[in-house]
Amino acid sequence: MTEEWDNQPFTECIEPVRVDRAKQVKTREYLSSGKYPVVDQGQGLVAGWTDSEAAVIRDGLPYVVFGDHTRLLKYVDFPFALGADGTKLLKPKDDINPLYFYFHLLRLDIPSRGYSRHYRQLKEKAISLPPFLNKRRLRRCW
């Protein structure tokens, strides 16, 4: 391929996602077992469980969960509840393959600033779209 990759600002590659903070599950409310997994910014994919139907995110899957303090990224393609504090829910635009988006984010260098928030740094990054994923040239790949 001789066509060049297109570097798009991160903020132009995502859809706005609003999560009602009141629906997020607080750490002290995590159960050791339950109906729905809780995904937060910690090391493991699932941090705990909840039985709260109101907290469950089902629509718009998959998402990428970004740990604002930890810089950890998680690809979530199943119904889940979002843990409170320090989580950002990211949704790539329809023209960007969600798995490609996730793996691209994994390779970005976001230096640690301790326990401060890191989303600001992520917003300054660019997403490299190969010609066959370039949203201006082709609708929805894979």
Query: Tens of pLDDT along the chain (142 residues)?
Result: 456 888 888 888 888 888 888 789 999 999 999 999 999 988 989 999 999 999 999 999 999 998 877 878 999 999 999 997 788 899 999 888 899 999 999 888 787 776 677 778 888 888 888 776 554 444 444 4
pTM of the model: 0.81
Indicate the domain borders of the chain: 6-133
pLDDT of residue 137: 45
C-alpha to C-alpha distance for 142 and 135, rounded to whole angstroms = 13
C-alpha to C-alpha distance for 137 and 131, rounded to whole angstroms = 7
Residue 93 main-chain phi, psi, to 5 deg: -60, 155
Q: 125: which residues sit within 8 A by CB, 6+ positions away?
A: 10, 108, 110
- Please tell me the class of the 6-133 domain: alpha beta
pLDDT of residue 138: 44
| Residue 105 half-sphere exposure toward CB, CA atoms < 13 A | 29
Residue 87 main-chain phi, psi, to 5 deg: -115, 140
pLDDT of residue 55: 94
pLDDT of residue 139: 43
> Contact at 8 Å (CB) between 131 and 7?
no
